[in-house]
Amino acid sequence: MNSSSTRRVVVTGIGIVSPLGIGARAFWDALLAGQSGISRISSFDPSHFPSQLAGQVPPYKINDFVPKTYRKATKVMARDTELAVIAADDAFKDSGLQSKAHAETPSFNPTRFGCNIGAALISADLAELTAAMHVAHSVENPEQLDLNLWGTNGMSQLTPLWLLKYLPNMLASHVTIIHELRGPSNNITCQDASSHLSIGEAFRILQRGDADLAIAGGAESRINHMGVMRQSLLNRLNTTNNDSPATAVRPFDSTAAGTIVGEGGALLILEEYQHAVNRNAKIYAELVGFGASQDSYKVTDPAPDGRSYANAISKALKDANLPPAAVDCFIPHGLGIPSHDRAELAALNQVFGAGLSKLPLAPIKSQIGNLAAGCAVDAAAAILSLHHNQLPPSPNTKTPLDNIPLNTSPTPRNQPVNVAISSVYSLGGQNAALVFKKI
């Protein structure tokens, strides 16, 4: 994709909402300090679930992150949408751009500002559904749901705007309305790969000149009954560490026993380079490469040989016109699921070969859990590593999986970072990688 005529794209704002805190600074400081954002689920009683842990976002009030004129609309926001709205607010404030949410007159042309936000299958609020189902049971058999009564008595218990809370495109819809963004807008729903694919799509939109700015990333919360149950049924969760949350997720470790659900997300302000220079913007990094691929293997597992995942990373490096040896920081997916970690290591070995043992790896999910569509936090970590010349720690990667030597550290590392990569894979087989470079 890169050529002499292709427009350059830089990152000028980072908004993060995570189990380690709200705001990029809070997240980064806690990440470097080795703090854990994983704890026992507090939003409902998890005692009936085999895995009772989650990476939970600290308490917040959504009204603190939206204009007064928009607070009524928060009543139809699912938690996933709230997380995206918070991340967007943080990203705009960090970028120095004035949107409709913060000023009467925006500091940019709204028709040239796009939005691409990754989302997931948003789980319905069980309290709402059970209240409706309560009046839709058969009179003859109280334990059986009567579909005729559900269509009349049951659904009448739901607010007319109920469905608007759970459509995946609502994350982008609310963000664009709040900030009055009228450029190209899209929503990608591909599980854990959603946010990276969204950032990649926004990257292409800016490269080809269809917009000058874009907000891109993703957000999700799986901390609800259905979210935890789905992951439990897929045998993806650690069920043996309920009494030791901080050590539950152990990426690429021989003792790894599964991942942990989480919630959060990140949104990046992407900007055409000259547009950013003209307004004297703070530039974190340049986005120079994007690659995507599909496993075509199984819905529930990554391909064991890692070939397609490796292809996404190789394509991103080719797009960036960089060799594998140029990478100074790699934020892998690193779920802590042994079979998944093996597939990811197989892919990294194909890309980096003998250089894998020297590749600086920083798997961060041991501190936050799996944020799924909110994995844009991984991309943000790669950018912040590059910006601060620091690599996050890997506190739970102690005994290498299958004795494969890896370049990780239990403590943060201070070293030059000129090129950083974040890569992800998803249930369904989508893979994506992003390459960031210092200006």
Residue 165, pLDDT score? 87
Helix, strand, coil share (%) of the chain residues, nearest 5: 40, 20, 40
Residue 242, pLDDT score? 98
Residue 5, pLDDT score? 59
Neighbours of 369 (CB within 10 A): 33
Secondary structure (DSSP) of 191-252 = GGGHHHHHHHHHHHHHHTTS-SEEEEEEEEE--SHHHHHHHHHTT-B--S-TT-GGGS--TT
User: What is the model's pTM?
Assistant: 0.95
* 60: Cα separation from own chain's centroid: 19
User: What does the pLDDT profile of the chain (439 residues) look like in tens digits?
Assistant: 444 458 999 999 999 999 999 999 999 999 999 999 999 999 999 999 999 999 999 999 999 999 999 999 999 999 999 999 999 999 999 999 999 998 889 999 999 999 999 999 898 877 777 777 778 777 777 778 888 887 888 777 777 777 888 899 999 999 999 999 999 999 999 999 999 999 999 999 999 999 999 999 999 999 999 999 999 999 999 999 999 999 999 999 999 999 999 999 999 999 999 999 999 999 999 999 999 999 999 999 999 999 999 999 999 999 999 999 999 999 999 999 999 999 999 999 999 999 999 999 999 999 999 999 999 999 999 999 999 999 999 999 999 999 999 999 999 999 999 999 999 999 999 999 999 999 9
253 secondary structure, DSSP code:
B
Q: Which two tokens stand for residue 63?
A: 């009204």
Cα angle, residue 407 at apex, residues 403 and 412 outer, rounded to 5°: 130
Give phi and psi for 259, each to the nearest 5: -100, -175
